[in-house]
């Protein structure tokens, strides 16, 4: 066999068919997962302290009228005595919630709810806390209810003593007392006839104004005492007191507020704020609230005469709704014009925002046979109520009718009063209130069986008479 020898530095080319091919692409190979049988043992891993645990209690902070900044909400949460497990803040979101707080322990949740309501009552913020629980038990609900009762009771007691509106009007009484002493005529002193009568008029005006302020303060304290009486009762005591032994309803005629079942804390807060606004605004009819309610409760027909601007059109319906007149039935207030009915309904809805549940204030401007009186207060024209009467002669679902602006004496108003007079003999539970500023109250009272007339004194303002110098002498 012939052998071939190559020089060590020579280049040798071997015939290889795959010499010019590209190398295969790189592929990563993963190990095939091992299928564990359920009965196979797996050793537990190390505990993870940072793992998220589902909260047992979620506290929602419902947005109010003010847009609060993120740093303010964060500071409010940081000052809470019980720190949440986690929280989320939505300061400028379109959602109804400004923040969401998550808690694991019930004690921390209870302290947080009480703290947020305390700061809400003192005016720090306007966020409304609402609790959603995944593990709530009846004992926890009773504990939260009792805790919030105590929080609201302390706040009401503080308002009865140190409310800024209360101090302002007490200072006004002192000022009026000094003013009366200054302008009152002094005995055994001679005055000119014109000066004497002017001083008497000023004294009378200041005395009426002082009396109105004193009545307003008494009304505010009475409202706070009524709320405090409800708040300091034990759970279920109010229901037992009202039900009586045989299930008969024991009606408290002196109560200006009536609550059914468990208290809604948002509603209680709205009522407190509305009372403070009423005291601040000083409408004259507010000073006569208990007197008006007493007359309406004890007689079927009442004629209310109040001067223009006394607040009778917007406040009386709220007084009746708060005191429980008619219970579940509707209170109808008629107006001679559609625009008046619509504007009054909007105004009352703004003033009583949060004070009633559901669709409490409504207005019907046109008649429809499908319309039902399902709201607490309904404003409509007298013509619309006449159409309802033609459809239902008993006006089912109506507990009280207020005929406003009775002095206009339109055809619809006169027909309505005549038909309601007949209806009252069939429905002894219905109440009729006739309101006016300039009507002949005595004539209306005689037509309705000599019913009682309630007068509401309006506010008086000082008038300065100034004479322009005559040009005749020049």
Segment holding 7, helix H or strand E: none
Structure confidence by residue, pLDDT tens digits, 259-289: 878 899 999 999 999 999 999 888 999 999 9
Same domain, 333 and 418: yes
Same domain, 222 and 243: yes
Give the C-alpha separation, 86 to 365, whole Å.
Answer: 51
The pLDDT, as a whole number, for residue 410 is 84
Of the chain, the percentage scoring pLDDT greater than 70 comes to: 80
The pLDDT, as a whole number, for residue 316 is 94
Same domain, 439 and 332: yes
Q: What is the CATH number of the domain that holds 74?
A: 3.30.70.330
Strand 128-133 relative to strand 57-62, pairing: antiparallel
Written as six digits, the tokens of 275 are: 């009372």
The pLDDT, as a whole number, for residue 242 is 44
465 part of a folded domain: yes
Mean pLDDT of 347-365: 88
The pLDDT, as a whole number, for residue 421 is 93
The pLDDT, as a whole number, for residue 146 is 93
pLDDT-based confidence at 461, cuts 50/70/90?
Answer: low
Token pair 């993870």 is found at: 48
Give the C-alpha separation, 297 to 400, whole Å.
Answer: 11
Give the C-alpha separation, 134 to 55, whole Å.
Answer: 8
The pLDDT, as a whole number, for residue 151 is 95
- DSSP state at residue 124: S
pLDDT-based confidence at 243, cuts 50/70/90?
Answer: very low
Strand 97-103 relative to strand 86-89, pairing: antiparallel
**Among the listed residues 346, 356, 297, the one whose alpha carbon sits nearest the alpha carbon of residue 321:** 356
Same domain, 370 and 449: yes
454 part of a folded domain: yes
Residue pair 452/421 in contact by the 8 Å Cβ criterion: no
109 part of a folded domain: yes
Residue pair 304/434 in contact by the 8 Å Cβ criterion: yes
Same domain, 260 and 337: no
Domain boundary among 247, 282, 317: 282
Give the C-alpha separation, 413 to 405, whole Å.
Answer: 9
Same domain, 434 and 456: yes
The pLDDT, as a whole number, for residue 329 is 86
Which carries the bigger pLDDT value, residue 268 or residue 91? 268
28 part of a folded domain: no
The pLDDT, as a whole number, for residue 255 is 79
Radius of gyration of the chain (CA): 37
Same domain, 196 and 345: no
Cα dihedral 33/38/39/44 (nearest 10): 80
The pLDDT, as a whole number, for residue 239 is 42
Task: Give how far Cα 163 sits from Cα of 122, 132, 168, 348, 462, Å.
Answer: 11, 33, 9, 25, 28
Give the C-alpha separation, 131 to 358, whole Å.
Answer: 20
Same domain, 322 and 442: yes
Structure confidence by residue, pLDDT tens digits, 372-390: 788 889 999 999 999 999 9
Same domain, 472 and 359: yes
Q: What is the CATH number of the domain that holds 307?
A: 3.40.50.300
Residue pair 134/57 in contact by the 8 Å Cβ criterion: yes
Same domain, 292 and 252: no
22 part of a folded domain: no
Give the C-alpha separation, 56 to 102, whole Å.
Answer: 8
* Sequential DSSP letters for 74-119: HHHHHTSSS--SEEEE-TT-SSSEEEEEEES-HHHHHHHHHHHHHH
Q: Which domain holds residue 90?
A: 57-136
Give the C-alpha separation, 439 to 460, whole Å.
Answer: 20
pLDDT-based confidence at 167, cuts 50/70/90?
Answer: confident
8 part of a folded domain: no
14 part of a folded domain: no
Mean pLDDT of 313-337: 88
Residue 154 above 80 pLDDT?
A: yes
Which carries the bigger pLDDT value, residue 161 or residue 151? 151
Written as six digits, the tokens of 25 are: 């692409």
Same domain, 214 and 360: no
Written as six digits, the tokens of 138 are: 């009846």
Give the C-alpha separation, 262 to 259, whole Å.
Answer: 8
The lowest-confidence range among 109-113, 254-258, 461-465 is: 461-465
Domain boundary among 233, 266, 282: 282
Domain boundary among 282, 310, 342: 282
Residue 424 above 90 pLDDT?
A: yes
The pLDDT, as a whole number, for residue 238 is 45
Structure confidence by residue, pLDDT tens digits, 57-81: 999 998 888 888 889 999 999 999 9
452: three-class secondary structure by DSSP = strand
424: three-class secondary structure by DSSP = helix
Same domain, 308 and 456: yes
Exposure class string for 460-469: b at 16+ Cβ within 10 A, else e: eeeeeeeeee
Residue 224 above 60 pLDDT?
A: yes
435 part of a folded domain: yes
Report the domain count for the chain: 3
pLDDT-based confidence at 117, cuts 50/70/90?
Answer: very high
**Among the listed residues 432, 451, 431, the one whose alpha carbon sits nearest the alpha carbon of residue 441:** 451
The pLDDT, as a whole number, for residue 400 is 94
The pLDDT, as a whole number, for residue 26 is 58
């Amino acid at each position: 066999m012939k052998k071939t020898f190559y020089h060590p530095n020579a280049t040798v080319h071997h015939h290889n068919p795959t010499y010019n091919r590209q190398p295969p692409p790189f592929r990563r190979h993963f190990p095939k997962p091992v299928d564990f049988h359920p009965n196979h043992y797996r050793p537990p891993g190390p505990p993870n302290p940072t793992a998220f645990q589902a909260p047992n209690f979620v506290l929602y902070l419902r947005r109010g009228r003010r847009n609060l900044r993120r740093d303010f909400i964060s500071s409010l949460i940081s000052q809470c005595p019980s720190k949440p497990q986690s929280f989320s803040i939505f300061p400028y979101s379109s959602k109804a919630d400004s923040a969401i707080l998550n808690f694991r322990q019930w004690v921390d949740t209870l302290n947080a709810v009480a703290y947020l309501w305390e700061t809400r009552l003192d005016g720090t913020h306007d966020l409304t806390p609402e609790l959603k629980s995944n593990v709530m038990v009846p004992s926890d609900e009773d504990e939260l209810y009792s805790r919030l009762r105590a929080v609201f009771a302390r706040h009401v007691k503080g308002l009865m003593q140190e409310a800024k509106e209360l101090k302002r009007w007490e200072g006004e009484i002192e000022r009026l007392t000094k003013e009366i002493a200054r302008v009152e005529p002094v005995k055994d002193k001679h005055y000119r006839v014109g000066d004497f009568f002017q001083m008497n008029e000023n004294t009378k005006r200041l005395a009426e104004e002082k009396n109105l302020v004193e009545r307003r303060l008494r009304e505010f304290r009475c409202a706070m005492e009524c709320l405090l009486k409800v708040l300091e009762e034990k759970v279920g005591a109010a229901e037992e007191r009202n039900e009586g032994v045989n299930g008969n309803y024991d009606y408290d005629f002196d109560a200006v507020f009536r609550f059914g079942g468990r208290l809604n804390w948002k509603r209680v807060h709205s009522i407190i704020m509305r009372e403070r606004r009423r005291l601040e605004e000083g409408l004259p009819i507010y000073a006569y609230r208990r007197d008006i309610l007493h007359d309406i409760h004890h007689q079927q027909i009442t004629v209310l005469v109040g001067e223009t601007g006394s607040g009778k059109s917007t406040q009386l319906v709220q007084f009746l709704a708060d005191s429980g007149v008619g219970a579940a039935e509707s209170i109808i207030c008629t107006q001679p014009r559609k625009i008046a009915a619509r504007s009054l309904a909007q105004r009352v809805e703004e003033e009583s925002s949060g004070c009633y549940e559901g669709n409490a204030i409504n207005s019907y401007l046109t008649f429809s046979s499908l319309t039902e009186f399902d709201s607490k207060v309904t404003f409509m024209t007298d013509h619309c109520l006449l159409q309802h009467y033609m459809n239902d002669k008993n006006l089912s679902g109506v507990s009280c009718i207020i005929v406003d602006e009775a002095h206009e004496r339109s055809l619809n108003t006169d027909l309505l009063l005549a038909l309601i007079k007949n209806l009252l003999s069939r429905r002894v539970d219905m109440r009729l209130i006739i309101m006016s500023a300039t009507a002949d109250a005595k004539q209306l009272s005689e037509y309705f069986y000599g019913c009682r007339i309630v007068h509401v004194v309006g506010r008086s303002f000082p008038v300065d008479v100034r004479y322009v110098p005559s040009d005749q002498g020049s």
